[in-house]
Amino acid sequence: MLMLTSEELKAVRAAIQEGGKLERLWHNLLERTERQICTPGLVQDGDTVEWWHLAWERISDAAFVYAVDRHAEAGQWLREVVLELLDKPGTEWHGPWFRGRGNPQHGVLETSHVGLAMCAAYDLAGDLFTNEERAKLLEAIREHCQEPCKRSLIRMKDDTGNISNWFMVLLNGYGTASIILEDRSAVEEALDFYQTATRMYNGDSYGESLQYWNYATLHLSHLNEMLIRYDSKLAERADFLCYVRCIPWAVQSLLYMKPLGKEDDPVYPRSANFGDSAAIYRPSADILLHIACRAKNAAPMEAGLSRWLFEQTYDRLELERNELGTFAFISSYQFMTMVHYLDAAEPLSPEKAGLPLAASFETGNVIVRDGRTAESSVIAIQAGYEPLQVTSHNHYDQGSFILAHRNERFFIDPGHACYRLDAQAKSIATESHNTWTFEIEGRSEPIAQRSIEGANFRNPSEPLAHRKLIGTMDGITVVRSEIAGVYGDPIRRAERTWITAFPHLLFIVDRIVADVPVKTRAHFMTNNRDNKLQTNLYSDTKIVLRRGGAAVKFFLMDSISDGEASACRRHMSWGHMHQYYHPQPNQEGQGKEGSAVRFTYENQCFAKEHVMVYAFAMDGLESIRGWHMYKNEAAQYFAEPPAHEGGIAVGFEQQGQILVTDYRTNRAYRISDKDIQLV
C-alpha cells in the first residue's frame, strides 16, 4: 500500500489500543463507516448530496477501515460499491447535468473526486478484487479520471483567462491517478502542472476566499503527500510552503468556538467568512495534520499552529455527517489525519507563536482583536488588497467588516448558498455588506461596487481597493482603506477609517468625495440568525442591539455634507445570513430572508463631499446601559464608560486629520495615511 505503509499500519493499530485522541478519531471514523454500510450504495437515507459529492470520503473511509481492521462488512460494501461504479457509463463520472458532456470528455470537479475514491479503494483494499477486476479498475481510473483531468489541465494552463481552485482539484485527480497507475512520465508532467498551481497563492493568503483556499489546498496537499510516498526525491520539486504560509491567516480568521443553537448543542467554529466562505468554516483536518507533520522542519511555527488549530476545531469529533467533507462544504477529516497525527508537531498557540493582535494579509483581510477570551472583541475588515494571484468567489465587499463581541457576531458577512439561487445573487451584492452604494440625481440604479475578479498571476492588474494604514499604539488600533476604485466615476474618494479601543469601543469615519453631487447609502448587515437579534431603535441615529449575552450601542454620531451639518434617513430591510454552502437549494445551511437585518443610513441631500462618523460601544446586556456616546464641548465624538472615568474621543483637526484622545491616559494620537503619532 502506498497511502498506508506497513509501518504506519502497525503504528496506527498500536495507537488505537493505547487510547487518546487517535483512538477517538478511529472510533468516530469506524462508527460513521458502519452507519454508511448498513445499506447498499453510496447514498444513504438522510443524505442531501448526490453520489459524486460524497464518493471520496465514503469509499476512502471504508477502505481504511478494511485495511486497519479487516472489517468484513466494510470490505463487502466497498467491493459492491466499486464494482457498481465500474459498471456505470464513463460519462457518469463527470458530475451533475449542469457540468455538460463532451467527446472527448474534459474533467470536472466530480471527475477528480470519483477518481480519487477509486484510487483509495485500489490502494488500500486491492485484495478485495480479482486480478481481472483490478485491471478493470485501473483502466477506469486511466480512461475516466487521468485522461479527462489532463485534458482540462492543458486547456486551463494555456488559457490566459481566469484560473481557480479547479486547477488544483483536477491536478490532484491527474497526479494521484498517475501515481496509482505507475505512469512515471505522467507523474513528471503532473509536477510541471504543480508549478503552475503554486503560483496561484499569494505570499500569506489566497485570492478566492478562505474556504476556497481550503478546497484548493486539500487537493494540492493530497497530491504533495502522494508524491512524497511515491518518490520522496521527486517530491522535493513540489513546493508546499505556498499553502503552509497561509496557516497564520487561517488561525487569525478563527473568531471563536460556540454552539450553533442551544448551549448544549455541538460546538462549531465561527470564522471571518468574506467571499464565498462558510460562517462555520474550519480547515480540513487532513490539511492541518499534513502541515503539522510534513512542515515541522521547514516551517516549525506554521506546523505548530496547524496542530493548535486542529486541536481547537476538532475537539468534538461527533460533528461529522460525512457527506459534505471532501468538497469542503463542511470541513471534516479523512484517514490521513490519523496517519499524520502520530508524528505531528506539538500544538503552538497564537500567543506563544507571537501572532499580533492586529494582522493584515495580502488578499485584503485585516483582523484586529484584543485577545482570544470569551470577553474579547474582534473585527475582520476587507481593507484593500495586494495584486491577487487568483480571483474567484469574491463578493462586492470592499470596505466591509465583521464585528463580534463576547462570542456574538453582530455585524456580519452573508456568506454563500447554492450558486443557482436568487438568494446567492443577492448575498454577494454590495448592499448586502457593510459598505456603501451611492445615488446620483436622475439615475434610477445606485452606483455599486464592480468586480475585482479576472486578475491572476498571468494577467495581473492593479488593486481597486487599497489599505492605506494599519497601526497600533497603546491599545488603540487604526485601519484605513481607500476603495474609490471599485466604484469608478464619479466617485473620487471613498475612504473608511476604523479606530478600535477594544474590547469596548469602535469608531468608523467615512469620507466620500465625488465629481458630481451624490447621496451616500451606508449599509450595515446585522445577525438575526434564529430570530435572536433584539433591536431597540432608540432614535433615528441611535440603535441598541442585543444578542445572547452581549450588546452593542450603534450610533450615527454626525453627518456632514459639503462642510455643513446634514441629516440622514435610516432604512431597515432584510437580507440573508448563510451558515455554509450546499450545492442543492433549500438546505440546512441556507439562511432565510430575514436572517440578516440591514440598516441603511442615506444622506438626505446630494453633495460632492460627505463625512459620516459612527460609534460602537460593546458590553454585557446590563453594562451596556452605562455607556454614553455624544459630542462633547470640545466638538469631539466622545464615548464614556459606565464608571464615568476615562473614555475615548475622536475629533478633526483643521487640516482634516483625525485626532484620537484617550482620556484614560490623557494622551492624544494624530492619524495620517502613513502612521499614528503621539501628539
Per CATH, the number for 357-678 is: 2.70.98.70
CA dist 619 and 18 (Å) reads 46
CATH 1.50.10.100 fits 6-87+106-352, yes or no: yes
Confidence of residue 30 (pLDDT cuts 50, 70, 90): very high
pLDDT at position 322: 74
- CB atoms near residue 419 (< 10 Å): 14
| pLDDT of residue 143 exceeding 80 | yes
| pLDDT of residue 528 exceeding 90 | yes
**619: Cβ contacts below 8 Å, ≥ 6 apart:** 405, 504, 550, 551, 626, 627, 642
Mean pLDDT across the stretch 151-166?
86
Q: Which of 354, 347, 350 is nearest to 291 (CA)?
A: 347
Residue 239 in 3-state DSSP?
coil
Distances (CA, A) of 124 to 6, 95, 117, 342: 11, 25, 11, 19
Q: Where are the domains of the chain?
A: 6-87+106-352, 357-678
pLDDT at position 263: 79
pLDDT at position 78: 99
Residue 651 in 3-state DSSP?
strand
Asked whether 554 and 545 are in contact (CB, 8 A), the reply is yes
* Helix locations, 209-284, DSSP H: 210-230, 232-235, 241-244, 247-253
CA dist 329 and 281 (Å) reads 9
Tens-digit pLDDT profile for residues 389-410: 999 999 999 999 999 999 999 9
Q: Which of 571, 478, 491, 493 is nearest to 525 (CA)?
A: 571
- β-strands 596-603, 676-678: how paired? unpaired
CA dist 176 and 187 (Å) reads 8
Mean pLDDT across the stretch 106-127?
98
Percent of the chain with pLDDT over 70: 99
- CB atoms near residue 441 (< 10 Å): 9
Percent of the chain with pLDDT over 90: 89
The pair phi, psi for residue 606, each rounded to 5°, is -80, 140
H or E, element range at 629: strand 628-631
Q: Is the dihedral of CA 154, 157, 158, 161 positive or negative?
A: positive
| pLDDT of residue 429 exceeding 90 | yes
What is the Cβ-side half-sphere exposure of residue 22, based on CA atoms within 13 angstroms? 20
| pLDDT of residue 321 exceeding 70 | no
| pLDDT of residue 320 exceeding 80 | no
